[in-house]
Amino acid sequence: MNFAYYPGCSAAGSSADYEMSTRAVCRALKIGLQEIPDWNCCGSTPAHAVDTELSAALCVRNLDLAARMDASTVVTPCPSCLSNLKHAGKRMENPDFRARVNELLDNPAAETLPEVTSVMQGIASCRSEADIAANVCKPLKGLKIAAYYGCLMSRPAGLMQFGDPENPTLMESLLSACGAEMVDFPLKTECCGASFGIPERPMTAVNSGRILEVASNMGVDAIAVACPLCQMNLDLRQKQASKAVNVFFNMPVLYYTQLMGLAFGFDPRELGLHKLCVSADPLLQKLDGLRREEALAEAKAKAAEGGNA
């Protein structure tokens, strides 16, 4: 299965670990990601608030490039990119809006633009939970994980088409197939503060602190995320969040693809775990310890069977 792939600007910088692990997981699952040639920024979080048509033109150019690849579907890992690309595609259904956007482009956009979906949905659309489990060689069994989607992935519900906007469960399904114990995390779609981490740092610290505190109280080993902004606020800004709610945190915040990659047997460095601000070493040590205990128990059971025979 092949998809046109839009990495987004953060893939080469702040979320390089997301990019590394996304490509590794898709490679393991034999899902082809054909990067859109000469793609450009989608406008990120602020562009649409400044100029809707110019923001849409940025996105439509990418979708048009994908159409010229004969792609039927574009996948992207970033919820902000996903939202922008989806909004642009929807707005292009309006002939007047399309005409104004086409004036901003070098060439008029293709009449039919590709569908856009998340990498997470792309994986689930062509690989079953059984397919994922078949690739697991180092199961996440024994790890307790909270899935945190953030506020953009599932909203607005009609456009994003990501299941229940208040209670999406796709990440839980993918990680459960890898052996993880997924908790019922009540704040999975609450906002972490997103891009307000710079202009409204205190607000972001409180929002992120609340998410980290609830996850900590639930006794999870890590929080799994799918958004570079969420990962940054919960990981890079974790000390700020600790101060805001007066609770010390040492919570690893990993991309769901990093956890899947670990289950598939990739080296942690191949998945960019060394780029995390809050070290995932305790989680890795726990996972290795659990697997050693299992191997020892199996060896004892076999020895006992041999003795009985």
Q: Using 50, 70 and 90 to split pLDDT, how confident is the model at 16?
A: very high
Bridge partners of 224, per DSSP, are 147, 254
Mean pLDDT on 50-59:
93
* Neighbouring C-beta atoms of residue 203, cutoff 10 Å: 14
Sign of the CA dihedral with 139 first, then 212, 276, and 239 last = negative
DSSP state of 195: G
Give domain 2-121's CATH architecture.
Answer: Up-down Bundle (1.20)
User: Cis peptide before 156, with omega less than 30 degrees from 0?
Assistant: yes
CA distances from 302 to 137, 155, 290, 293 (A): 20, 52, 18, 14
pLDDT: which is higher, 268 or 304? 268
Q: Give tens-digit pLDDT for 89-117.
A: 999 999 999 999 999 999 999 999 999 99
Question: What's the CA gap between 167 and 224, in Å, rounded?
Answer: 15
In this structure, the strands spanning 73-76 and 32-35 are unpaired
Give domain 138-293's CATH architecture.
Answer: 3-Layer(aba) Sandwich (3.40)
**Which is nearest to 167 in space by CA: 145, 144, 190?**
190
Q: Using 50, 70 and 90 to split pLDDT, how confident is the model at 305?
A: confident
Comparing 2-121 with 138-293, is the CATH topology the same?
Answer: no
Beta carbons within 8 Å of 299's beta carbon, 6+ residues apart: none
Q: Give tens-digit pLDDT for 179-221.
A: 999 999 999 999 999 888 778 899 999 999 999 999 999 999 9
Q: Give tens-digit pLDDT for 149-161.
A: 999 999 999 999 9
Backbone φ/ψ region at 30: left (φ over 0), alpha (ψ -120 to 50), beta: left
Q: What pLDDT score was predicted for residue 309? A: 63
Q: What b-and-e string marks burial along 154-170, b requiring 16 or more CB atoms within 10 Å of the CB?
A: bbeeeebebeebeebeb
Q: Give tens-digit pLDDT for 41-54.
A: 999 877 777 899 99
pTM for this prediction: 0.96
CA distances from 31 to 119, 219, 246 (A): 10, 34, 44
Per-domain residue ranges for the chain?
2-121, 138-293
